[in-house]
């Protein structure tokens, strides 16, 4: 018996969730809700002409799309055994979405969200499964504070940080203080959703700006690396991060060029490679279905990682790093790459759901 799952959103993110869940061993999509203009239609009709993933219309096409604003529909589906929790990929203003996601939680429906609305809510965990799985244990406190019974809210961080946050964490966990990072990202157009970036803006071009992305890149890792105190999150003090975020003519895969300054203890290049190659975390120990076997893949070629060659590594869930070398200004530098819509979005969400199920929060 698989756990019945709802998807909020029929755009790129919602569809990516469906694509990843088509054959999932634990979860089964039984409920889809989206904007009012899609509501009432069969999913196949709602996405006609903007279906981005092969096979999902065939598998989920007959599900009647509900109105995502109508939480009572989801509650009824939950009662009927069709929606134990939801993945949220809705695109709406943060202030509205904040309220809506809380309504789902209040209605007893856990929300695993891709949106940024609740990332800075004091008791909502922002989770990268291999880094801060322990943050999920704030859920009892969160439930209690809000008077929620079974519902809760967890979110995943911005896609732009996932190409370096896990590698940086692995070094910290190995005992090295990471004081400062200067990061330049080269981000794929799929990060902007659909229709997203106009082709006239990006063919033969670079756009050196993505609204809000640098702020998220500089602050979200500090929550992820932070601690729980009195039922709320406390940001870590470091590393200090400076991010330059660029949009590049690449479909999928965010590349990050990173310079790191360590504390007094500085690992050698060889040690760093060893730490990253051997890094494993709870999702790997549990052999969760969506977990990459090796969360960090170290490549020794001079010219890797590259988006087209490395983004799909281990189902799109591994972070590939390369060009690990001394930095002329800080201590070391490297290039990291991850699949922004899988590792950085829906795949990360599914992995978090697997963790939540393991920890017993899903039913």
State yes or no: residue 189 binds its own copies (CB under 8 A).
yes
State yes or no: residue 277 binds its own copies (CB under 8 A).
no
State yes or no: residue 209 binds its own copies (CB under 8 A).
yes
Q: Rounded distance, CA 354 to CA 129, Å? A: 9
State yes or no: residue 194 binds its own copies (CB under 8 A).
yes
Residues 6+ apart with CB under 8 A from 145: 123, 231
State yes or no: residue 180 binds its own copies (CB under 8 A).
yes
Nearest by Cα to 240 from 260, 270, 268: 260
Residues 307-336: x where in contact with its own copies by CB under 8 A, - otherwise, as a string: xxx---x--------xx---xxxx--x-x-
Q: How many residues form the binding site for its own copies (CB under 8 A)?
A: 60
Annotated catalytic residue within 83, 88, 135, 159: 159
Contacts 24+ apart (CB under 8 A), 204-211: 204/249, 205/249, 206/246, 206/247, 206/248, 206/249, 207/246, 207/247, 208/244, 208/246, 209/245, 209/246, 209/247, 210/160, 210/245, 210/246, 210/247
Annotated catalytic residue within 24, 118, 133, 254: 254
Q: Rounded distance, CA 303 to CA 157, Å? A: 28
Q: What is the DSSP letter of 2?
A: P
135 as an active site residue: the answer is no
Strands 332-338 and 319-326: antiparallel
Cβ distance 42 to 63 under 8 Å?
A: yes
257 as an active site residue: the answer is no
State yes or no: residue 196 binds its own copies (CB under 8 A).
yes
Q: Cβ closer to its own copies: 273 or 333?
A: 333
State yes or no: residue 242 binds its own copies (CB under 8 A).
yes
User: Of 77-85, 90-98, 139-147, 246-254, which segment contacts its own copies by CB under 8 A?
Assistant: 246-254
Q: SS3 for 138? A: helix
State yes or no: residue 37 binds its own copies (CB under 8 A).
no
Q: Which of 22, 41, 42, 52 binds its own copies (CB under 8 A)?
A: 52
Cα–Cα distance list, 83 to 28, 99, 226, 345 (Å): 9, 20, 32, 21
Q: Which of 54, 93, 147, 175 binds its own copies (CB under 8 A)?
A: 54
Annotated active-site positions, please? Answer: 159, 254
Site of interaction with its own copies (CB under 8 A)? 48-49, 52, 54, 180-182, 184, 186, 189-190, 194-209, 211, 218, 240-244, 246, 248-251, 255, 257, 259, 301-309, 313, 322-323, 327-330, 333, 335
């Amino acid at each position: 018996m698989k756990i019945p799952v709802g998807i909020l959103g029929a755009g790129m993110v919602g569809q990516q969730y469906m694509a990843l869940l088509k054959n999932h061993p634990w979860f089964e999509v039984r409920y889809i809700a989206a904007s009012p203009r899609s509501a009432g239609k069969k999913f196949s009709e709602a996405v006609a002409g903007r279906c981005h993933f092969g096979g999902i219309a065939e598998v989920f096409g007959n599900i009647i799309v509900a109105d995502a604003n109508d939480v009572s529909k989801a509650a009824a589906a939950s009662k009927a055994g069709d929606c134990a929790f939801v993945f949220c990929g809705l695109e709406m203003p943060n202030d509205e979405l904040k309220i809506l996601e809380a309504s789902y939680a209040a209605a007893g429906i856990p929300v695993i969200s891709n949106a940024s609305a609740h990332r800075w809510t004091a008791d909502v965990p922002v989770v990268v499964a291999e880094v801060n799985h322990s943050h999920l244990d704030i859920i009892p406190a969160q439930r209690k504070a809000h008077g929620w019974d079974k519902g809760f809210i967890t979110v995943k961080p911005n896609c732009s940080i996932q190409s370096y946050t896990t590698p940086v964490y692995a070094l910290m966990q190995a005992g090295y203080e990471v004081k400062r990072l200067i990061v330049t990202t080269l981000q794929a157009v799929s990060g902007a959703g659909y229709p997203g970036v106009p082709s006239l803006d990006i063919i033969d071009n670079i756009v050196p700006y993505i609204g809000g992305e640098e702020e998220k890149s500089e602050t979200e890792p500090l929550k992820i690396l932070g601690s729980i105190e009195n039922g709320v999150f406390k940001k870590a003090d470091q590393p200090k991060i400076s991010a330059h975020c660029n949009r590049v003519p690449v479909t999928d895969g965010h590349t990050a060029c990173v310079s790191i300054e360590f504390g007094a203890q500085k690992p050698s290049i060889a040690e760093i490679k060893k730490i990253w190659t051997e890094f494993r975390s709870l999702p790997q120990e549990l052999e969760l279905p969506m977990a990459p076997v090796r969360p960090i893949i170290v490549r020794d070629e001079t010219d890797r990682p590259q988006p087209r060659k490395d983004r799909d590594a281990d189902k799109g869930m591994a972070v590939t790093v390369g060009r690990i070398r001394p930095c002329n200004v800080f201590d070391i530098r490297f290039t990291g790459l991850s699949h922004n819509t899988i590792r950085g979005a829906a795949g990360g969400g599914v992995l978090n759901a697997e963790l939540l199920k393991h920890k017993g929060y899903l039913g």
